[in-house]
Structure 1
Amino acid sequence: MSQNLNAKLNELVSTYSVLYTKLHNYHWYVSGPSFFTLHDKFEELYNETTANLDELAERILSRDAKPVATLREHLEQSLIAEAEGKETAEQMVGTIVADFKTIMNALNETMSIAGEEGDDRTEDMLNAMYQSIEKHTWMLNAYLGESVSAQ
């Protein structure tokens, strides 16, 4: 079992943990004309994030390694930053799009490592996560009035 793959999986655990908290922040504090739409969307996203986080941690455990499990570790290892707490609704969506792009890059890197090691199960799990985030990114960009090809 590769320490490099386990480290990348733990980086994803930390990133998903920060994303989970950020999405809750946005869910609680979104306001304005898009409140009902975004309040529900952020809840959908943090519920999916919870499932992905648990899947990642359990995959690490099944590889005889240990997932990081403290807030300190999550903040240190996360690829994304916490919510600032003063974002507008549009800034919240834009930040999530940027975070999702960061996560998709990390998922791609980690899939490559899993593929090099012949760990098809990890690669498949990460690919499913990638496809879902890719779809969410497309939808959030449409909400912002941006096309994916323009980015």
Structure 2
Amino acid sequence: MSYEKTQEVLNQTVADLSKASALVHQIHWYMRGAGFLYLHPKMDELKDQLDEHLDEFAERLITIGGSPFSTLSEFDENSKIKMTSATWDKSIANRLSELVIAYKYLTEQFTQALEISEKEGDAVTVDLYTTALGDIEKTIWMLEAELGK
């Protein structure tokens, strides 16, 4: 069976998770204000989780014959996650809101990827997306709870 569309969506995921990880890292570095003591280490935890999923998706792409994006320019050109240069004037709430936007985009992307990989009969990739989607949805819930939403 051909996994052409699954390969494409996996590569999109590689770019998006790379950008999401960079966004979390930026927030980690530029965080100031109330909540810093517990949110600063939480960003490390979120980055580790994203990087773990990134590695799984990239290795799956290689396993099914694809070639993952691997440069910063490829990640930036192919990801739909928005990032700008950091400044010190954003509140923690603003930074977390930016992260929620990125994570909500990931839920949309992962849901589409599930459909594509399921249609192409790639049960292993379906499982990877199912697990990652659960982690992303839980993180959105936690971030929104922190924001009082």
TM-score (normalizing by structure 2): 0.94
Higher RCO (CA-CA < 8 Å; seq separation 6+): 2
On the 8 A contact 2:25/2:43 being kept in 1, the answer is yes
Aligned match of 1:75: 76
Distance 1:83 1:141 in 2: 22
Q: Unaligned stretches of 5+ in structure 1? A: 147-151
Distance 1:52 1:88 in 2: 28
**3-state SS, counterpart of residue 118 of structure 1:** coil
Aligned match of 1:131: 134
TM-score (normalizing by structure 1): 0.93
Distance 2:86 2:47 in 1: 17
Q: Residues 67 and 61 (structure 1 numbering): CA distance in 2 closer, same or farther, change over 3 Å?
A: same
State the Cα distance separating 1:84 from its structure 2 match.
3.4
Aligned match of 1:105: 108
Aligned match of 2:21: 20
State the Cα distance separating 1:145 from its structure 2 match.
0.4
State the Cα distance separating 1:46 from its structure 2 match.
0.2
Distance 1:95 1:74 in 2: 18
On the 8 A contact 2:3/2:122 being kept in 1, the answer is no
Aligned match of 2:38: 37
Aligned match of 1:115: 118
State the Cα distance separating 1:83 from its structure 2 match.
4.3
Distance 2:96 2:131 in 1: 22
**1:96 counterpart letter in structure 2:** L
CA shift digits 1:61-97 (9 cap, x unpaired): 0001100101111001112012431232111110111
Q: Unaligned stretches of 5+ in structure 2? A: none
On the 8 A contact 2:3/2:64 being kept in 1, the answer is no
CA shift digits 1:124-144 (9 cap, x unpaired): 110000001101100110000
- Please tell me the root mean square deviation across aligned C-alpha atoms, in Å: 1.0
Write out the 4+ residue segments of structure 1 that deviate beyond 6 Å after TM superposition.
none
**1:106 counterpart letter in structure 2:** Q
Distance 2:56 2:83 in 1: 22
Aligned residues: 146
Aligned match of 1:149: none
Kindly indicate whether residue 94 of structure 2 is the aligned counterpart of residue 94 of structure 1: no
